[in-house]
Amino acid sequence: MVADKKPPWELMNDPDIIVALKQGKVSAIDEIIRIYGDRLLRSACLLSGNQTDAQDLVQDTLVQVMQSIQSFRGESLLYTWMHGILLNLIRRRLRQQSRLEYNNDLPDQMEAPPPMETERLDLEKASSAMRKALQALSPPHREIIVLRYFEAMKIEEIARHLRISMGTAKSRLHYATQCLRNLMPENLNLFRS
Amino acid sequence: MRCNKCQDQLYEYFDGTLTPSRRQTVQEHLAQCPACHAVFEQERQFSKSMTGLFEQQTRNLHIAPQISQNVMARLKELPQENQISEIRRHFSLIPIFNRPPRELIKIAAAITILLAGFYMGNVVWQQREDESRARLEKETDWRYILVSSRTCYFLNRPELQLMQ
């Protein structure tokens, strides 16, 4: 299922961008932002729970990409490598804050108010509830949920990305899923089959 | 196949990373076990809902248009780090330096151990050399009479006359 839905940017081969980046060409940054910018921002937003933080984090990621592109050996896809940098920056930020503060105003920051159709409203409510539930998860659980269901990563890719074993990845994903289900209000729970 | 074994392989089943024979075993078990089939359906539904909700939550998010300029400005503000990157670029031309830091540390540790080994070997060799020289000096009677600043007689070996 996840394999069938591999996003197009994961299938892209970007040697030209990498060469341009290694040569320090400015146009390469624009190209990266054009191809991966929105995707990185969305991932950062889901992981950090804050749009302003997400913009800063993506900016920091791009700066670090430019600084350490020489050490990129092409063992993973460029996007996966950049996402690894983003993940480290988010973890560092969380450590620096040394507190897990969940922003309850987040739904308003992230999106405009929904239109007033009944079905649409239900979906919006579910989406908002899910956003809060996601932010209430512990950082490792949130990371694995975002990697699996937003980044559409396979379980072995997740294990490699997080540098954990396959068994740990599977059990962590299982518990994260359970936690998220429990955090969702019963009447808005779209996860029941 | 047992239920726990089947459920343990469900993520790989969804990913399509199981071998054909394992895939078939899981498929057969799912067809005849209502409990595992329910878990499978729940995960399928969960995956579908999550993907949809994430998509809906984030589709209006776009990267700030000025981010490119901001990144360039930040890079210009970091001349020292740019210099380091420049040095790294030069070093990366030598294959040994074009390795991840962890490997470089291992190589450096190996070289240090090797050098320490050479040094210790040298110290031990020097010590043995000194000892054998001392033994030789002890065994040999080197008593002599200095006749002049250029000549001396060895008392036990009168045939020897050392002239500088």
Asked if A173 and A191 count as a contact pair (C-beta separation under 8 A), the reply is no
Instruction: With H, G, I as helix, E, B as strand and everything else as coil, classify residue B162.
Output: strand
CA distance A127 to A176: 17
Which structural domains are found in chain A, ordered by start?
1-101 (1.10.1740.10), 117-193 (1.10.10.10)
DSSP B17: -
Asked if A55 and B64 count as a contact pair (C-beta separation under 8 A), the reply is yes
Question: Would you give the distance in Å from CA A187 to the centre of its chain?
Answer: 27
Contact yes or no for A58 and B11 at CB 8 A: no
The predicted pLDDT at position B139 comes to 67
Which of these ranges, A138-147, B32-41, B58-67, has the smallest mean pLDDT?
B58-67
Which of these ranges, A74-78, B66-70, B118-122, has the smallest mean pLDDT?
A74-78
Q: Does any CB of chain B come closer than 8 Å to the CB of residue A182? A: no
**Which A residues 111-140 touch B at CB under 8 Å?**
111-112, 123, 126-127, 130-131
Whether B67 is in a domain gets the answer no
Task: With cut-offs at 50, 70 and 90, classify the pLDDT of residue B159.
Answer: low
Task: With cut-offs at 50, 70 and 90, classify the pLDDT of residue A170.
Answer: very high
Does the pLDDT of residue A111 top 50, yes or no?
Answer: no
Q: Does any CB of chain B come closer than 8 Å to the CB of residue A109? A: no
Whether B34 is in a domain gets the answer yes
Contact yes or no for A59 and B51 at CB 8 A: no
Contact yes or no for B15 and A41 at CB 8 A: no
Q: What are the strands, taking DSSP E only, across chain B?
A: 144-146, 151-154, 161-163
The predicted pLDDT at position A104 comes to 43
Task: With cut-offs at 50, 70 and 90, classify the pLDDT of residue B147.
Answer: confident
Number of domains within chain B = 2
Does the pLDDT of residue B120 top 90, yes or no?
Answer: yes
What is the ipTM metric for this complex? 0.73
The predicted pLDDT at position A16 comes to 79
Range of the domain at B143: 99-164
Same domain, B107 and B164: yes
Alpha carbon distances (Å) from B145 to B138, B152, B164: 18, 5, 14
